[in-house]
Amino acid sequence: MNRAMDRRAVLRGGLGLAAAAVGGSSVAACTVGEQAAPTRRAKHNLVIVQWTNVPAVEVTRKINAAFEKENPGVTVTMRHAPNPNNAYGALVNSQLAAKSVDIVAQFALTPSAFPPKYTEQKPGGFAALVAAGKAVDLTDTGFMKRYEKSQQQYAFGYEGRQYGLMAAQYPAYGGLFYKKALLEKHSVPLPSTWDELIQAFDTLKSKGLTPLFLAAKDGYQMFVWHGILTQTLMAGKRSERAAEVGAARAKAFWQGAATWNDPLYHEVAAKYLKVMQYAQRNASGVSALTAPGVWAVKEDDFPFLIDGTFDAATIVKANPKLDLGFFTMPSSNAAAVNRVVLNPDLSWVVPTSAPNKELAMKWLEFFSREDNYKQWLAATGSNSTQPGVTTTEVPWMDWLNEHQEDACLNVPGPWVPTGAAPEASGPVLADMVPVGRTSANDELRRSADAYAKARKA
């Protein structure tokens, strides 16, 4: 099992989908359209399940309405539930067990979901369903040709075939929203190198400002760590090699040729600690739910917010007048190293048990049309997965639109033996200073020991 820290586990509590769907779950889900979920339905009723993310749900509703208008007699029912406490996972399991869902929203699996043979482990969760042939193969569909193949394969590929359509990928690792007016007021240019970043923080701090705001209560400091780590691991490598780089690192860990106590991770830790010293003192008490809004309305402080673009809609709603910007934090003085890091996210999957597969394919084709997809991107803050499709009309995406060409996907973490301690997956940032009390050296040593112990067990 690959348990590299990601947004699913830390921010959303994970989906917890079982390989065999669990029946009889009680879920407080919201339903749009029909209220019941019978196994047998009219062939012109499409059922989509999606986790509760307000901007994504709202734009999907608009696309559904347009789809119904273009296809008289067709209705689209959308069911959604929140991710905390595994409510969404229970909803998906119950719908799969009833064979009553046509399209399922699922977090991108990425290569980390499919253990290589040398680990002697098997895929779990939704990946087990894919490996068992329970998801429709989308490889040869016309709409998949609209999307960048290597990104789609990374997100939901298995043995060279495509089993999901990744609709959203977010710049989150190393992501920083910023207040343009506040930077201009203090004559601070947007940094493009590591030294410039620290200089900007120091300048703003000297003016009495707290440079960084983050939701450490929900682990958003991980964006700093993984942003630095991914840029470091991918230095000098083509963007499409993220999976290859991750596989080589994972094998080295498994064979004992690499550990969390290697100089590379001490270098990353040193930069992480440097950045974190500029964050607000009460970061560990700030939640991901409230952080974007609190940051947005405080126009005279906190120039930067550590967050992913998925929270852009929340920020804009909290303060529509805010002159907002977004960029990826540079971790090196070599410009080529400082790339946008993309995190594969929401993907559409058609289960083989779907009552209306043909209609599901028709909806995915409709969703993939440029106008509909651009509407999705603008509403959700996602980076495009279709070459040539950008959201230039969204003001805060100006920097991203100029720096997408060499963006790279996040690098998968090492394989962690089943039953291993959490530390085996890497340093537990909640325990490590400045959020916790353990020094970086001790935390890295603890992670290395935990991984070695688990590997030998």
DSSP string, 103-166: EEEEE---GGGS--GGGT----HHHHHHHTT-B---TT-TGGGGS-HHHHHHHHEETTEE--EE
Both 314 and 438 in one domain: the answer is yes
The reply to whether 187 and 147 lie within a common domain is: no
Alpha-carbon 349 to chain mean position: 17
% of residues, the chain, pLDDT over 90: 82
pLDDT tens-digit profile of 77-128?
Answer: 999 999 878 899 999 999 999 999 999 999 999 999 999 999 988 899 999 9
Q: Which pLDDT band holds residue 404 (cuts at 50, 70, 90)?
A: confident
The domain that contains 354 carries what CATH number?
Answer: 3.40.190.10
Q: Is the pLDDT of residue 352 over 50?
A: yes
Residue at token pair 């509760």: 52
Domain presence at residue 338: yes
Q: Indicate whether 253 pLDDT > 80.
A: yes
* Structure token digits, residue 85: 């406490």
8 pLDDT more than 80: no
Q: Are residues 251 and 158 in the same domain?
A: no
393 assigned to some structural domain = no
Q: Who contacts 172 (Cβ-Cβ below 8 Å, separation ≥6)?
A: 7, 223, 307, 308, 309, 310, 341, 343
Question: What's the rounded Cα separation, in Å, for the pair 125 and 123?
Answer: 7
**Contact 38/22 with Cβ under 8 angstroms?**
no
Considering the domain architecture, whether residues 110 and 257 belong to the same structural domain is answered as no
Pick from 343, 334, 397: which is nearest to 192 by CA? Answer: 334
Asked if the structure places residue 401 within a domain, the reply is no
Asked if the model's pLDDT at residue 30 lies above 90, the reply is no
Confidence of residue 22 (pLDDT cuts 50, 70, 90): very low
Same structural domain for residues 258 and 190? yes
Please tell me whether residues 100 and 164 are part of one structural domain: yes
Residue type, 261: N
Interatomic CA distance for residues 426 and 421, integer angstroms: 10
Q: Give dist(CA 188, CA 198) in Å, integer.
A: 11
pLDDT (0 to 100) of residue 40: 46
Number of domains in the chain: 2
Quick check: 379 and 367 in contact, CB under 8 A?
Answer: no
Mean pLDDT across the stretch 138-143?
98
Task: Assess whether pLDDT exceeds 70 at residue 296.
Answer: yes
What pLDDT is attached to residue 25? 31
How confident is the model at residue 12, as a pLDDT?
30
Residues 6+ apart with CB under 8 A from 255: none
For residue 299, what are the domain limits?
171-342+412-456
Residue 401's pLDDT is what?
87
Q: Residue 241: CA atoms inside 13 Å, Cβ hemisphere, count?
A: 10
Q: Is the pLDDT of residue 36 over 90?
A: no
Structure tokens of 25? 């779950």
| pLDDT for 31 beyond 80 | no
DSSP designation for 174 = T
Q: Does residue 160 belong to any structural domain of this protein?
A: yes
Cβ-Cβ contacts under 8 Å for 117 (sequence gap 6 or more)? none
Residues 164, 311, single domain; the answer is: no
Q: Does 286 fall in a domain?
A: yes
Let me know whether 247 and 113 are in one domain. Answer: no
CA distance 73 to 96: 25
Quick one: 124 and 221 in the same domain? Answer: no
**Confidence band of 370 (pLDDT split at 50, 70, 90):** very high
Residue % of the chain over a pLDDT of 70: 91
Q: Are residues 184 and 282 in the same domain?
A: yes
Candidates 282, 266, 262, 285; CA nearest to 274 is: 266
pLDDT classification of 244: cutoffs 50, 70, 90: very high
202: pLDDT strictly greater than 90? yes
Mean pLDDT value of segment 196-218: 98
pLDDT band at 417 (very low <50, low <70, confident <90, very high): confident
Q: Give the CA dihedral 184, 343, 447, 253, nearest 10 degrees.
A: -130
Q: How far apart are CA 170 and CA 311, in angstroms?
A: 10
Residue 16 pLDDT greater than 80, yes or no: no
Mean pLDDT for the stretch of residues 223-238: 97
**pLDDT beyond 60 at 35:** no
Same domain, 216 and 360: no
Q: Does residue 352 share a domain with residue 247? A: no
Which DSSP category does 205 fall into? H
Q: How far apart are CA 85 and CA 87, in angstroms?
A: 6
The mean per-residue pLDDT over the stretch 341-363 comes to 97
Q: Does an H or E element contain 303, and which? A: none
pLDDT at 69 over 60: yes
**Helix (H) or strand (E) segment spanning residue 4:** none
The whole-number pLDDT of residue 42 equals: 57
pLDDT of residue 325: 97
Res. 18: pLDDT tops 70:
no
Is residue 440 one of the residues assigned to a domain?
yes
In a domain, 395, yes or no: no
Predicted confidence at residue 59, as pLDDT, reads: 97
Mean pLDDT of the chain: 90
**Rounded CA gap, 383 and 381, in Å?**
7
Q: How many CB atoms lie within 10 A of CB 10?
A: 18
- pTM given for the model: 0.87
What size, in residues, is the chain? Answer: 457
Q: Within 277-417, where are the H helices?
A: 291-297, 312-318, 357-368, 370-380, 398-402
Beta strands in 4-102 (DSSP E): 30-32, 45-51, 75-81
pLDDT (average), residues 322-341: 97
pLDDT at 424 over 80: yes
The answer to the question of residue 404 being in a domain is no
Residue 363, pLDDT score = 98
